[in-house]
Every structure is written in C-alpha cells, then in structure tokens.
Amino acid sequence: MYDDTCRFLAEHFSADFASWLLGESVALTELKPSELSLDPIRADALILLQSNESVLHLEFQTRPDPEIPFRMLDYRSRVYRRDRDKTMRQVVIYLKQTGSDLVRQTSFALERTRHDFDVVRLWEQPDDLFLQYPGLLPFAALSQTNDPEATLRQVAQAVNQISDPTTQANLIAASAILAGLRLEDEVIYRVLRRDIMQESTVYRSIQREAQEARDRAIAINLLRRGVEIDIIAPSTGLSIEEVQQLQQQINESAQS
C-alpha cells in the first residue's frame, strides 16, 4: 500500500521530486526495470526516473532493510551497463521513524569495491519543505513536526487550493495513506475529506489490490483443504489459471 502510493507520487509528480532531490525542475520519464537487462530484478518500492542526462533512482522503505546497500550498487551497475553517459542519483527514502542503524547506511563496501548513495529520513526533514510542492504534500505529516495533526491540516488546506479535482482527490488519498504511518485513522479522517478520497485512482487501486489479496488468501486456504479448482475460481472471482498458479506455489513450497 505504501509502496504503491509512493510510486504513484513519484511517477505523476516527477518534477516536484526533481526539484527536491536534484535541485532543479526537470522533466523526468519512467525507466522501467524491465529495460535493465539482467534478471531477476526487484520492482517493489522502486522507481527509476530519467531525463536525457541523468537517472533518479528512488527506493521507498517503511522499515530497515540490510539488503539496501547492495541493491544500490546492483542498480547502479545495471544502469551503467545500459547507458554509460548518464549520471545517476540514488536516494533511499525511509518513511517511518526507527532507531535502527541500518537507516544510516549510505554505502556498500566489498574488498576494494565501494559504492555511495544518499539516504533521506523523513522524520528529520522540515515540514515546510514538503508543503512547497503539490507532489510532496503527502509526506509532510511524516516530517520533523511536533504536531503531525496540525501539519496534516496544512496539507488539507494546500490540497484544497488545487483546482483540478482528480489531482486533489489523488493527493488527499495519498496523504491519508502515508499519514497512517504516524496518526490514527480517526484523526486522519477528521482532517481529510473521505468522500473526495474515495474518488481517487490511488484509493480505488489500493482497494482493488486489497480485494485481490483477500481472494488469493481464500483460494489458498481452500486449496489446502482439498477443494477443487473449478469450484474455487468462481467462488473467489479468480481465473482458473490464477488458481492453478497458486496451487503450483503451494506444491513448490511443500517440496522446498
């Protein structure tokens, strides 16, 4: 849920992210992970944006991950293999405050190999930074603010000034989702209009994915109970092929 929200923001408000992290408002387009030649490649929590001269690599994390440093080196080498002339800025953005030392790691070292990258811990960033750009508004409540509810009210006021209803709905939904990492739902829905939120593509996408996850969980449970595939499919709304794939995963898991 948080990964999808951050990816949506980075893709649809890339100029705002460029202003924040590159220091200039440049047009950026998505670089799909499939365009980098080697497999397997980790695609969740990841966004690659590119201009003619550079690549901006973002990793959004809700919790510490010891694999981050190597992953930064891995992606840098993949991009270099594809285009040796482009510079690359790599930033890991940690969303939720933690005392783990992992969120302070900014390099990967192996024998004579060393690779550096940048880290942003949102809880150490001033809230006014995120209030300057529409695409960064949803991060404001996670910033260095003593009163996240008051900051969320500032976000709501800023979103209300946006004339496009679709953009407004998407930013409200994204703000509500990310604020959930720090505030209770009751507080969030007291500040943000839920009726507008439900009109957003972000909200509908996450609701759809949540329903699909529930359907898969039900199908897995029924498969383990020995229920036939042609009964499970219409009962869950999954296709025969999807249920067969779940059955294969269960069989492979049992064999490992």
Domain total of the chain: 3
147 and 58 fall within a common domain: no
Confidence (pLDDT) at 245 = 86
55 and 89 fall within a common domain: yes
Tokens 């800025």, located at residue = 89
- Domain boundary, last residue among 124, 152, 183: 124
User: Could you tell me which of 176, 146, 147 has the C-alpha nearest to residue 159?
Assistant: 176
User: Could you tell me which of 157, 143, 129 has the C-alpha nearest to residue 21?
Assistant: 129
Query: Is residue 65 assigned to a domain?
Result: yes
Query: Is residue 59 assigned to a domain?
Result: yes
Q: Which domain holds residue 104?
A: 2-124
Confidence (pLDDT) at 27 = 80
152 and 109 fall within a common domain: no
- Domain boundary, last residue among 97, 124, 151: 124
Query: Is residue 206 assigned to a domain?
Result: no
Tens digit of each residue's pLDDT, the chain (256 residues): 788 889 889 989 999 999 999 988 888 888 877 777 544 445 456 788 888 889 999 999 999 999 999 999 999 999 998 889 999 999 999 999 999 999 999 999 999 999 999 999 999 999 999 999 999 999 999 999 999 999 999 999 999 999 998 899 899 999 999 999 999 989 998 898 877 766 676 667 766 766 777 888 899 989 988 889 989 988 888 889 888 888 888 887 777 5
Query: Is residue 231 assigned to a domain?
Result: yes
Confidence (pLDDT) at 40 = 46
- The SS3 call for residue 131 is coil
Confidence (pLDDT) at 105 = 96
Query: Is residue 133 assigned to a domain?
Result: no
Query: Is residue 73 assigned to a domain?
Result: yes
